[in-house]
Structure 1
């Protein structure tokens, strides 16, 4: 899987919380140059609740489950993410502990945007970075509202 396939997955994901930056084809190509590709096996933990790590991930292939530890029985699973989904988006905005775990349910390909690379993107291509921030904020807002309506505790 390469950056073009990730772009296709992002653009075709049909969920309320889909990452929807308004980027033209050249801006998309620029954006994916700042991502690093990683493969996960089923059961691998991508994000650990409580960690303070400043990386945002985009799922290219496979499925991820988002869950919290210490929740009431039956309330621990928050979401299942499909290709094209973004996860870990609060890390773009603040140095706060991760509020949930994210685990590979199947073999996955993810693309990481680490904070130093995002800061480089902001310095070199501020219009693309601003659009990524806007779209990540929209994802975070939709998820926050969904969690509030389902009374999922925020960590």
Structure 2
């Protein structure tokens, strides 16, 4: 899943914060966190890279990890029982994985990198630790992710992106 990180690739939570602040997509993650709060959040997340074509998650997988996109583009593919495929694109400043995170159900789609991506992941266990220690940050994330999911569910072409 994770790509080896080139020596020139550096991760800084402020890169993710800037991507979120500058994203104008309809399903952008709208977090109102201060710089110190971003630093706290970073201590609960793991940064990693994906190369173009690498799969992030598989439809049907039992996983509740959230993925925040700092840079790059992910394609989301859903295949129904009649083998019809629906697709959505999700870019920097957004999140994937909120559907399984909230529902505790299997992944509803397959997600792979369309371009090289820098991502940050937050597991359900680490989120619970964050909620116990820094509840205002966890509440802000929960509200922002709920808004992303609601916007995607309302927009028929973006529904597939609720993973």
In 2, the alpha carbon distance for the partners of 1:52 and 1:108 equals 23
Output the TM-score relative to the length of structure 1. Answer: 0.88
- RMSD of aligned C-alpha atoms? 2.2
The 4+ residue runs of structure 1 with deviation greater than 4 A are: 71-75, 150-155
Query: Structure 1 34/152 Cα, relative in aligned 2: closer, same or farther at 3 Å?
Result: closer
- Pick the aligned partner of 2:26 from 6, 16, 27: 16
Structure 2 gaps, min length 5: 1-10
Deviation of the 1:98 alpha carbon: 0.8
* Paired position in structure 2 for 1:57: 67
Deviation of the 1:22 alpha carbon: 2.1
In 1, the alpha carbon distance for the partners of 2:93 and 2:158 equals 26
Deviation of the 1:110 alpha carbon: 0.9
Deviations 1:7-30 (CA, angstroms, capped at 9, x unpaired): 111111101111112222221221
Output the TM-score relative to the length of structure 2. Answer: 0.84
Asked whether the equivalents of residues 75 and 152 of structure 1 are also in contact (C-alpha less than 8 Å), the reply is no
- Pick the aligned partner of 2:79 from 66, 69, 75: 69
Deviation of the 1:142 alpha carbon: 0.4
In 1, the alpha carbon distance for the partners of 2:96 and 2:28 equals 10
Answering whether residue 139 of structure 2 is matched by residue 130 of structure 1, we say yes
In 2, the alpha carbon distance for the partners of 1:9 and 1:145 equals 23
